[in-house]
Each structure stands twice: as C-alpha cells, then as structure tokens.
Structure 1
Amino acid sequence: MVFTIDTLCKKYNGKPVLSDVSFSVDKGDIVSLIGPSGVGKTTLLRILAGLEEQDSGNIAFETPPSKGNPVIMVFQDYLLFPSLTVFENTAFALKARKVPAAEITRRVNTILDFFHLSDKHNHYPVQLSAGQKQRVAIARAMVVNPAVLLLDEPFANLDRNLKLETAEFIRDTQKEFGITTVSVTHDLEEAFAMSDKIGIMLNGKLEQFDTPSALYNSPNSVEVAKFLGPVNVLTPELCNHLGLTESIIPEGRAYAIVRPEQLVLTKGTAARIMRVQFGGHYVKYSLSVMGTELTVYGFSAQFAEGDYVGISLG
C-alpha cells in the first residue's frame, strides 16, 4: 500500500462535503475518483496533496511525503509558467531541488521524448495546444519521480477526440514510470480506459471502490449502477413474467441489476416495443413490461415500434 485513507470527513460552513471516506491505493496503481460535481472529489485530492486538512479521519502513507518523496498535484488549468519554455517548465522543480545541470538535462530530455514533446522544447505555453499543455504539466510533475501523482480533471480542457487518446496515454505513461496516480474526473469512458481501480463518490460518500469491470457488472446499489450508465431493475415478478431465472437476483437483494446490453430480444409476447432509436454502434429498444419500462440494446433494427417480443439474457 502506498497510502490508506480511513474514515475521512470534511465540512464547509457546517455542511458535510466528505463523510467517512475510506480506501487504500496499491503501489503503481492508477485510481480514478468519479462522481457528479460537488461531491467532494477535488476536496479529497487537495487533502491528499496537503493543501487542505480533514476535520477527522486519517491518511497513512507507507513512506511519509517529503521533498525527496513528494505528492504532486497537476491542476485542471495546468498552471504552466507563460514566460518559460517547455524545457524550462519541465525542469523547474528539478532546478528548485538543486539537481546538477547535466542530470536535469538528461531527465528532462528523456521525459520530453517519452511525452512526444522533444520538438516543442523551445516553445512557450502560448504556442501549444491544450493537449500539449496538459502533457507538459504532467511531464513537469513526473520528472521529479513523485511518490503519488494527483490529477485534477485531466480531460476537462480537451475536446472529445482527444479524451480517450489522452486516457490511454496517461495509462501507458503511468505504467512505464510506475508512479502511483489518483485522478479526479467526470468522464466515465476515460476513467474505465485508464484505471486499475475506480471510486464512485455520491453525496460526499465513497459508495463503491473496485475494479472497472466489477463496478460496471456488479454494482453495490441501483444508485451506483445508474451513475455508470442505463440499467434495468428486475424484480422476481418481472423475472418470472419474462421467463428469466430468479437466480440472477443476488442473495440478500430483492432485485437484479441488468445492463441493456446483457438482454436480447427474441420472438415472444412478454414485452411491447414502445420506441426504437438508432444510437450509432447500437439500436436502443424501449419496452413496456408489466407497467415497467426496460431498455435493451441490439446491433440491428430487426424489430419495430409496436412489436411484441420476448426477452432473454445474452
């Protein structure tokens, strides 16, 4: 473990922002904290960075942060020095630590090459794209080999086409250098693409902390499931009506949570199609079953509005 957070709490003006947040991060992992605005994600990141203090609870680092073992935060707006070149921005923290000049040159050139920024080393921030600025900010943080790298909304200033590419780049970079990373983001697709673990934060609480696949396929609650995308909630009555085995309902729970892509339309009369929508790489079917609306994704529009169909598990 690089660090463990235990029952962390924080209030602003008497209003809880973080409530009993607990999780641990393993060395070399990349962890994403996702959730809607105002649930305390950035506050948690700032507490980890030492920029704010919790009201209660503990953060225990395996090796306490220090100048030689720092926790470094990359902010949403990057905070590059406008009067310094890419090379000078990246070298700034090493110069502040009085690293020998030859070592600075070697380390900065190495990381700029890895970040595909070597040809920009004499450029100033104003001459860079948003994606290039972001890479400079992350390179500047990583060149000092931090114990923990904190990323605040790394995709916020990027256009849609760059987001997934950037998520994959962050993961490749983080794995290459082995730097433990915690990222705060609103973007689910990118969080899934780059993370070893994801924490879902709702209303100031960490509702679930697990691998991306476990979160998506085995959510702890309907609230977590819905935050990650459309879901169908199947009661025992619905399962019986559709001819689905009740064994899909987890022990101790009164319902099953099933994703639209986990269901398949078949010939039958159990459900009526109310709407068919083309969604690009899938077709979305909205169905009425016993007064309940269910959603099923298919690969082709083989059924039409008004058709009666059956539903099975894919």
Structure 2
Amino acid sequence: MDIEVRGIAKAYAGKTVLDAVSFYAKAGDIVSLVGPSGVGKTTLLRILAGLEPPDSGDILFGGKPAASCSLLCGALSGLSLRKDTPESSSHPAIMVFQDYLLFPNLTVHENVAFGLKARRMPRTDRDRRVTDMLAFFHLQDLAQRYPVQLSAGQKQRVAIARAMVVNPAVLLLDEPFANLDRNLKLETADFIRNTQKAFGITTISVTHDLEEAFAMSDRIGVMLGGRLEQYDTPAELYSAPATTQVAEFLGPVNFLPPAVCDRLALAHGGNGLRIRPEALTLTSHPQGKGIVTAISYGGHYIRYKVQVGDARLIAYALHDGLKEGDSVQIGVVRSLNLTDS
C-alpha cells in the first residue's frame, strides 16, 4: 500500500514539533526517517499509526484518507483496534514500539497470536498461522518461553512477528535498533529488509542509527527542526545532500576554502569545496602541501588529521604507512555539490 503524507503539522503548547511534513512512500518500500532527538520523528510515526491526530495536513493510505482510530489496546500491543469494530481495524498501519511491549504473562506463541485472537479467528486457523510465522522468524523453539526469558533481539523478532501475523498493509517501526548491541544492529537491518521484502509490506521506520538506515532503506528522510529537509534514495542522500546541514548530520564534512583549493590545485568555482573524509586521498610526497598531524584507528579505517595552511582536514583511509609529520599530496575523489554553499 502506498502512503502519501501531505503537509502534516503538529505543535505542543505553542511549540512547533512538525512543520508541513510531506512525502510519498511507494507500496512495498521501506522508508527510514532519521534525525537527532526532538525533531518530531516519533510524533510523526504516532500520527501515521493513528495514535494522535495532526493539527493540520492529511495522510492517504492507498489513495484514501486515514481513518481516525480510537485505540482499544494499541498502546499495549502495537495492534490498532477500533472500539466500534471488534474484529479488525480499518486503519491499515500497525506500530512496533521501541520497547516491544510484549505481554509478560503470555508465551511467545500467545503474544504472536494475540492480534488474531482479538480478531476472533478460529483457534485451529490461528494456531496454524502463528506456527508458520514463528517458523519464518526462527522462533519455533522459543514458542513456550516468556518475554523475560528472551534476549533483546529475540523480543524484537517476537514483536515484529506479532505485527506481521495480522497481515497489515503498513508496518511502523519505532527505533528498531535502540535496544540492540552493536554487533546485532547491521544483522537486524538485513533481517528487517529481507522480512519486509518477503512480505511486501510498506514499512516506515524512525531511527537514530544512520548506518543501519542506509543498509535497509529504499528511501530516507532527514528531519531537522521539525521539517523534512531531504527525502531521497540512500545513495543520492549521501552523495548529493541538499544542504550543508543535511550533509553534516549524515557525517563529517571537510570545508576547503578557496585559498586552500588553489594551493592544492583543485577547481572550486570560487566557493571552496566540501568533501567527505573518505573522498580525500593522501599520498606521501616530500613536496606535498599537507602535513599529517595526528593518526587514530577507527577499526575498519584509519583517521588522519592533516594541516594545509590554516585548514585542518580529516581523511579516512586504509593503512598506507603514513606517519605523523609526513608531507602528503591531497587528492579529491568526489566533492559535495551543496545548494547553500
């Protein structure tokens, strides 16, 4: 199901939280909304889920306006159920909360079955569907365990399975990587993408984790100050950010003023250049214009600080034998073309 968000605005106590947010998510895509804390990401997700209304604007699911949902137990289960329709909800979105909100007194099987039971599916059909879902999520051996007996990653899979089992048209994920250790995050990003593509469910996620968002998303929206500053594919967003603010949120950016560009014989159009650390190349040379001032290790790359005149640059590279104090030639693989530079 495609989703169209048109001019959503929201304020609390006179303070604007969302300012005319608009975007379109194609059916079957996975979209991540990223940004620092307090920019309105979770508020927008709750509005999409029907948990609270916008002050203005519209949301269309499959070309139709979203139903105004009065939630019976959404806050507990992440399953949107209308009071006036006990079997199911006309609101197509289901939200998986950051803290999963599994029922502590129910087993894994019972948690996953909860939405189907609320929809009054016959028990035989319900058990068969839950069993199939647990097998898909590799949870069948945990079916009789309780949430307290699960790891964070297992709890997350149960929460997603509970949402998926009712076959929602739209899946909403609130900070899906927040409770996972570093080693699990990229694995989970792959898992979410593979699962989402297997089910074909349009998915919108809000997250602080940029690497994971890039790994799993078809499109990413950067939210800053309550506004959606840019909405694009991961490749376009990273290589062609619309503004300096967006570029710097996504990662470090070197600014080479015109005088430094001239010193390095780099074409710059009079405004200097903005370049990501990994797009700089360093080559040891006795006549090089840069001086390596510091070296630190970042795991899969080495971080070099280089002084060129009055400019201090950062470059990421593999180990190439450079030492502090070495003179280096500096090359540029690609610069950022920013509209506000």
| TM-score tier after normalising by the smaller chain length | over 0.9
CA contact (8 A) 2:291 2:328 kept: yes
Per-residue CA deviations over 1:101-129 (Å, capped at 9, x if unaligned) read 23212221111101000111111111111
Match of 1:20 in 2: 20
Partner Cα distance (2:267, 2:129) in 1: 59
Distance 1:58 1:255, change over 3 A: farther
3-state SS of paired residue (2:57): strand
3-state SS of paired residue (2:289): strand
In the TM superposition, 1:95-106 aligns within 5 A as: 95-106=117-128
Alignment-derived partner of residue 76 in structure 1? 98
Range that drifts further, 112-121 or 49-58 = 49-58
The answer (yes or no) to whether the contact 1:272–1:308 under 8 Å persists in 2 is yes
Partner of 2:80: none
Within 5 A, what are the aligned runs for 1:21-100?
A: 21-62=21-62, 63-64=64-65, 67=89, 70-100=92-122
Secondary structure of residue in 1 paired with 2:5: strand
Give the aligned partner of residue 285 of structure 1.
Answer: 304
* Matched AA of 1:313: V
Partner in structure 1 of residue 282 of structure 2: 265
CA distance in 2, matches of 1:177, 1:90: 16
> One-letter code of the match for 1:297?
Y
Separation in 2, partners of 1:288, 1:129: 47
- Aligned-partner Cα distance in 2 for 1:223–1:111: 42
Q: Does 1:298 align with 2:284?
A: no
Q: 1:67-98, CA deviations, whole angstroms, 9 ceiling, x for partnerless residues?
A: 26621011111111111111111011111111
1:255 Cα deviation after fit: 4.4
In structure 1, the residue matched to 2:337 is none
Letter in 1 for 2:219: K
Q: Compute the displacement of 1:138 (Å).
A: 0.5
Structure 1: runs of 5 or more not aligned? none
Tell me the distance in 2 between the aligned counterparts of 1:202 and 1:75.
22
| Amino acid aligned to 2:137 | F
Normalising by structure 2, we get a TM-score of: 0.86
Q: SS at 2:185's partner residue?
A: helix
Aligned-partner SS, 2:144: coil
Deviates more, 1:291-300 or 1:1-10: 1-10
Of residues 119-128 and 168-177 in structure 1, the stretch that sits farther from structure 2 once superposed is: 119-128
Contact 1:197 1:211 in 2 (8 A): yes
CA distance in 1, matches of 2:282, 2:266: 13
1:233-244 equivalence runs, <5 A = 233-244=255-266
Aligned to 1:122: 144
| Alignment match of 1:224 (pick from 246, 263, 268) | 246
Structure 2 equivalent of residue 139 of structure 1:
161
8 Å contact kept, 1:69–1:146: no
Q: Percent identity?
A: 61
TM-aligned CA deviation for residue 64 of structure 1:
5.0
Q: Which of 159, 169, 172 is 2:181 aligned to?
A: 159
Rounded Cα–Cα distance in structure 1 between residues aligned with 2:298 and 2:148: 38
Q: Which moved more, 1:147-156 or 1:237-246?
A: 237-246
Q: Secondary structure at the match of 1:269?
A: coil
Distance 1:311 1:150 in 2: 45
**Structure 2 unaligned residues grouped into runs of 5+:** 68-88, 334-341
Query: In structure 2, the residue corresponding to 1:198 is in which secondary structure?
Result: strand
CA, structure 1 residues 5+64, in 2 after alignment: closer, same or farther (shift >3 Å)? closer
| Aligned equivalents of 1:90, 1:152: Cα separation in 2 | 18
Partner of 2:217: 195
Cα distance, 1:290 vs structure 2? 3.0
Letter in 1 for 2:301: Y
Q: One-letter code of the match for 1:231?
A: V
Q: Is the Cα–Cα contact under 8 Å of residues 283 and 301 in structure 1 kept in the other structure? A: no
Counterpart in 2 of 1:212? 234
Change (3 A) 1:243 1:270: same
SS at match of 1:224: helix
Give the structure-1-normalised TM-score: 0.93
Partner-residue secondary structure (3-state), 2:330: strand
The 1:11–1:69 alpha-carbon spacing in structure 2 relative to 1, beyond 3 Å, is: closer
**AA aligned opposite 1:265:** L
User: What is the distance in 2 between the residues matched to 1:17 and 1:115?
Assistant: 36
Gap change, CA 1:255 and 1:149, over 3 Å in 2: farther
Give the partner amino acid of 2:50: G
SS of residue matched to 2:176 = coil
